[in-house]
Amino acid sequence: MKNCRGIVLGLTVMALSLSACSSSETAGELLSQPSSDMKSSDSQQAAIDRDSDLLTLMQEVNLDPCPTAALNPDAAIPGLPDQVFDCLGDTSVVSLSQLRGTPMVVNVWATWCPPCIEELPLLEKVSRELEGEVDFIGINLEDDPTKALQLMQDFGVSYPSVIDQSGDTRAPLTIPGPPVTFFVTAQGVIAGRWDGAIPNEKTFNSLLQKNLGINR
């Protein structure tokens, strides 16, 4: 956590009082290239160019693996959008609409968003306590994957994220700006959401109980 204090202090001066961030400062250092493995759609996510430095950082940070798709998800159940993204921590891809079987907390975040950084320690703490009972996954929005991985490392965050460099989830999930946290049932239904940083454990516990029936 050697760079944590410097990052937080610099970003806090900018906007910690805001409940959500509405614009990005994407570095664009890693160029996007089309992926032949993903389904074709208007909202298809391009595969990030994982150069040797990024691959090395992935191994160093060692995030938890991204969740895998259900074998036969019920497409009739409304849930997360039918979009495919690269996993931040490894070379796998994730189909959001096919994530079923375990309740999920899905957090939309970015390194350019001070409130997102403010709530990271709380998200990590709860994710560790509920490991095996609730899956946590981030959607890293309009960001540089190298910066995102470095932030995860600085804060000791271990739960996985996917990379939405183009902001494709903004429209289907009605995201004006991060952070936004979604509570998704084991059947894939979005049971609730919280816009802005979750302020404390009491609020988080209330949201878990109300939306997922999880008592913490």
**What per-residue confidence (pLDDT) applies to 35?**
35
Contacts (Cβ under 8 Å, ≥6 apart) of 178: 20, 21, 108, 109, 110, 113, 115, 116, 141
* Alpha-carbon gap, residue 66 to 138, rounded angstroms: 10
**What per-residue confidence (pLDDT) applies to 160?**
94
User: From first to last of its 216 residues, what are the pLDDT tens digits of the chain?
Assistant: 444 444 443 443 344 434 567 643 333 332 233 333 333 333 344 455 667 777 777 777 767 777 777 666 666 577 899 999 999 988 889 999 989 999 999 999 999 999 999 999 999 999 999 999 999 999 999 999 999 999 999 999 999 999 999 999 999 999 999 999 999 999 999 999 999 999 999 999 999 999 999 998
Residue 187 in contact with residue 76, Cβ under 8 Å? no
* Parallel/antiparallel/unpaired status of strands 84-87 and 161-164: antiparallel
* Alpha-carbon gap, residue 153 to 151, rounded angstroms: 5
CA angle at residue 64 from 120 to 122, to 5 degrees? 20
Give the residue among 185, 173, 189 at the shortest CA–CA distance from 78.
189
* Alpha-carbon gap, residue 40 to 44, rounded angstroms: 6
Query: In the chain, where are the structural domains located?
Result: 87-216
Model pTM score = 0.74
**What per-residue confidence (pLDDT) applies to 56?**
75
User: Quick one: tokens of 214?
Assistant: 């999880």
Contacts (Cβ under 8 Å, ≥6 apart) of 131: none
- Which CATH architecture group holds 87-216? 3-Layer(aba) Sandwich (3.40)
**What per-residue confidence (pLDDT) applies to 73?**
63
CA angle at residue 9 from 7 to 14, to 5 degrees? 100
In a 3-state reduction of DSSP, which class is residue 216? coil
* Alpha-carbon gap, residue 144 to 149, rounded angstroms: 9
**What per-residue confidence (pLDDT) applies to 141?**
97
* Alpha-carbon gap, residue 147 to 125, rounded angstroms: 21
